[in-house]
């Protein structure tokens, strides 16, 4: 079967990379596992003997047919778009998620994981290198952005391996990385309103070349005394979002 461009499919075909991903996942036989976009099963069939049940979500009708032909005990197939499903309806926590994610849904899947993080004990996910490095980036670095802040707030994150283009079919034009995410028992910094915190973080990066004051205004934070509130949080309104630490974002959220 040929990969479909509309689904941004790059099938993992390197056995060594697949084995290293499975090792990083540290699956438990008494727990369920979850995979989005199993493709031809490079990870699927390696995971299945190592967990209680494996839930897979696939949108491609041809790949669904292939999965159905090979269906076996413990494999639970969900047909459809993972972004339109409520994972909590079928996953039993604590669960481990392992996936070679299509590049074009990396960001929306990550933000869905944020919402559903209490379902998971561990997540081991393949991303385009640029996005994986953004998740793990520190303040002041070129890659630091909203995903970096939110990832640090709720997860321990580590890049565990790099996968070259030749590990996939067809070979992408970019390198991929596997990121291991471990949800924290409590957010790293206390915030009263998590949705407000996320909105402030995302607003601060809407216009990276502009000051924090202008970025927040452009994102809809239109308070007349916005500059004063930034100063109350101990933050110079002329700074840019990429210079703020996690603690400063929390302080800013409390003031807005």
Neighbours of 189 (CB within 10 A): 16
pLDDT tens digits along 116-170: 999 999 999 999 999 999 999 999 999 999 999 999 999 999 999 999 999 999 9
User: How far apart, in whole angstroms, are the C-alpha atoms of residue 141 and residue 134?
Assistant: 9
Which pLDDT tens digit goes with each residue over 197-220? 999 999 999 987 889 999 999 888
Q: How confident is the model at residue 8 (pLDDT cuts 50, 70, 90)?
A: low
The class of domain 194-255 in CATH terms is: mainly alpha
Residue range 78-95: average pLDDT?
A: 98
Cα separation, 85 vs 101, whole angstroms: 16
Q: If DSSP codes are grouped into helix, strand and coil, which group holds residue 112?
A: helix
pLDDT over 50 at 2, yes or no: no
CB 38 within 8 A of CB 44: yes
For the 5-183 domain, the top CATH level (class) is: alpha beta
In percent, how much of the chain has pLDDT > 70? 96
Q: Which two tokens stand for residue 55?
A: 């839930």
Task: Flag whether pLDDT at 9 surpasses 90.
Answer: no
pLDDT: which is higher, 84 or 7 = 84
Q: Where are the domains of the chain?
A: 5-183, 194-255
Q: What pLDDT does residue 230 have?
A: 93
Question: For 15-67, what is each residue's pLDDT tens digit?
Answer: 999 999 999 999 999 999 999 999 999 999 999 999 999 999 999 999 999 99
- In total, the chain counts a number of residues equal to 256
Inter-residue contact 168 to 185 (CB < 8 Å): no
Six token digits for residue 167: 């590990």
pLDDT score of 7 more than 60: no
């Amino acid at each position: 079967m040929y990969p479909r461009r509309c689904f941004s499919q790059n099938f993992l075909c390197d056995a060594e990379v697949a084995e290293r991903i499975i090792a990083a996942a540290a699956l438990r036989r008494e727990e369920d596992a979850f995979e989005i976009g199993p493709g031809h099963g490079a990870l699927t069939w390696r995971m299945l003997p190592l967990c209680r049940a494996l839930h897979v979500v696939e949108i491609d009708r041809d790949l669904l047919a292939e999965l159905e032909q090979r269906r076996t005990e413990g494999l639970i197939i969900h047909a459809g778009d993972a972004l339109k499903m409520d994972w909590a309806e079928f996953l039993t926590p604590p669960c481990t998620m392992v996936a070679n994610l299509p590049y074009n849904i990396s960001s929306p899947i990550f933000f869905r994981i944020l919402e559903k993080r209490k379902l998971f004990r561990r997540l081991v996910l393949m991303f385009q290198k640029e996005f994986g490095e953004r998740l793990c980036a520190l303040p002041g670095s070129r890659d630091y952005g909203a995903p970096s802040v939110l990832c640090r707030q709720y997860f321990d994150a580590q890049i565990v391996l790099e996968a070259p283009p030749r590990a996939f079919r067809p070979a992408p034009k970019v390198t991929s990385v596997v990121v291991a995410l471990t949800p924290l028992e409590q957010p790293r910094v206390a915030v009263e309103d998590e949705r407000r915190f996320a909105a402030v973080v995302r607003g601060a990066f809407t216009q990276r070349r502009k000051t924090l004051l202008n970025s927040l205004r452009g994102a809809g934070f239109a308070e007349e005394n916005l500059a004063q509130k930034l100063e109350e949080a101990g933050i110079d309104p002329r700074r840019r979002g990429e210079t703020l630490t996690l603690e400063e974002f929390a302080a800013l959220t409390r003031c807005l």
